[in-house]
Structures are given as C-alpha cells and as structure tokens.
Chains A and B, each alone.
Chain A
Amino acid sequence: DTGVSQDPRHKITKRGQNVTFRCDPISEHNRLYWYRQTLGQGPEFLTYFQNEAQLEKSRLLSDRFSAERPKGSFSTLEIQRTEQGDSAMYLCASGFPAGQPRTEAFFGQGTRLTVV
C-alpha cells in the first residue's frame, strides 16, 4: 500500500493518560500534515513538517499537543493528560510543497481517539 498509513486506527484511553499516534506518509512526499476532525465538522489544521522541520505549530490546540518527525519520514502526534474534549479523529496527510507541479494533500484513514 503506497498511501498514507496511520496507526492505531482506534484508541480508547482514560482521561489523564498520554497517547501517541503514528503516521507514515507517502514515501516521496516531504510535507506532512496533522489535522483533527470532530463529528460533523471539517478537518482542522494542527501542524505540519517539511522533512524533519516543523514549520507551523501555533495552531496546535494546547501545550498538551506535540508532534515530531525526527528523521523526516514518519511522524508522531502526542497528546498528554488527555481530556474528554480531545475525543476526535486525528488525520495525517502528506504532499509536496507549494510551487511543485502537484501540491495536493493525500489523507490517511485517521486515528479515532475516544477519551473516557
């Protein structure tokens, strides 16, 4: 499968626990994006990377959220001290930078987080 893959697909956690999600982008893409989608809403941008550099993180929802892409390939999104309001679908996408012939973002299947 050469698409964007995310792991796990589903995560149930107790309030206050930390969770980490993984995203493997399409191999030739150097941009990687994280979005959050709640029920009935469009995806909400969180952060993105160009290779291993995090270019935008001001839209991460709080300081409990952090993301890494240490080797410029896969990325992880961590949420510390989870709250019930963090329950959502977390989507990863990858693509090429603006200015390239093709810049569209391709999404993964997402990780559905439920905080109980």
Chain B
Amino acid sequence: GENVEQHPSTLSVQEGDSAVIKCTYSDSASNYFPWYKQELGKRPQLIIDIRSNVGEKKDQRIAVTLNKTAKHFSLHITETQPEDSAVYFCAASRGGADGLTFGKGTHLIIQP
C-alpha cells in the first residue's frame, strides 16, 4: 500500500518568512495530492491540492509543487501570518479523495 512520509514534524518560522513542508510517497500510481490544515480541536480543512498532470499550483500565499519522478511534493507558504499556525497534513491517493493516505503532520508555529 501507499506510504507517505512528511517532514519536518515541527517547523517554527518568524512571521513574514516562508515555510516549506515536504512529503514523499511510495506508490507510483498515486495521482492526487491534497494538503489539509488542522487547527487544535477542529476538522481538517483542504487548503490546496494538485493532480499528477500538473507540476505546480498556486493560490495566493500558498503553493504546492510535485515531482513525479522523485515521488515528492511540497507545500510552500509565503509571508507567513499568525493565523497560519496549525498542523498541516499532506496526503496521497490513486483516485481523487478515495482512500487518502496521510502523512503524520507538521506543526507549524509562527513566531511574532
């Protein structure tokens, strides 16, 4: 089955700086890669996703890059703000949102 590794487990950055979270996956048939943000005690919320026919996708301060050859994808957050503090999860699947395999999460801390 699919295995998703996520790094780092904790990331602390100064407000205004950029943050990068990296994930690798093992199943070459995976074709859908979403990123979820989860605040303490709340539901995971989709912030951006990418499909395997695209190498990069951007939405305002958030971008995701995908390298299918190396089987890794990354989340980039620019101009970080205090409200970006949360746990971020990457995930992968073979078919849309069916049977997503999640990474263990990255606790992002934005220092004022």
A and B together in one complex: yes
Bound complex: CA A44 to CA B46 (Å): 16
Q: How far is the CA of A58 from the CA of B22 in the complex (A)?
A: 29
Q: Which residues of B contact A (CB under 8 A)?
A: 4, 6, 32, 34, 36, 42-46, 49, 89, 91, 95-105
In the complex, how many residue pairs between chain A and chain B have their CB atoms under 8 Å apart? 70
Known: A40-B104, A42-B103, A42-B105. A108 touches B97 (CB 8 A): no
Supposing A91-B43, A104-B46, A105-B46 touch, asked if A45 and B34 sit within 8 A by C-beta, the answer is: no
Give Cα distance in the complex from A106 to B45, angstroms: 7
Interface of A is mostly: loop
Q: Does A25 contact B (CB under 8 A)?
A: no
Q: Is the CB of B97 within 8 A of A93?
A: yes
Residue positions of A touching B, CB distance < 8 A: 4, 31, 33, 35, 40-45, 48, 55-56, 59, 91, 93, 95-100, 103-110
B43: nearest chain-A partner, CB-CB: A107
Residue ID in chain B nearest A46 by CB atoms: B99
With A43-B89, A106-B46 known as contacts, the answer to whether A100 contacts B96 (CB < 8 A) is: yes
User: Which of chain A's residues has its CB closest to B94's CB?
Assistant: A98
> Given that A103-B32, A108-B43 are known contacts, is A33 also in contact with B104, CB under 8 Å in the complex?
no
Cα–Cα, bound, A99→B51 (Å): 11
Q: Which residue of A lies closest to B31 (CB)?
A: A98
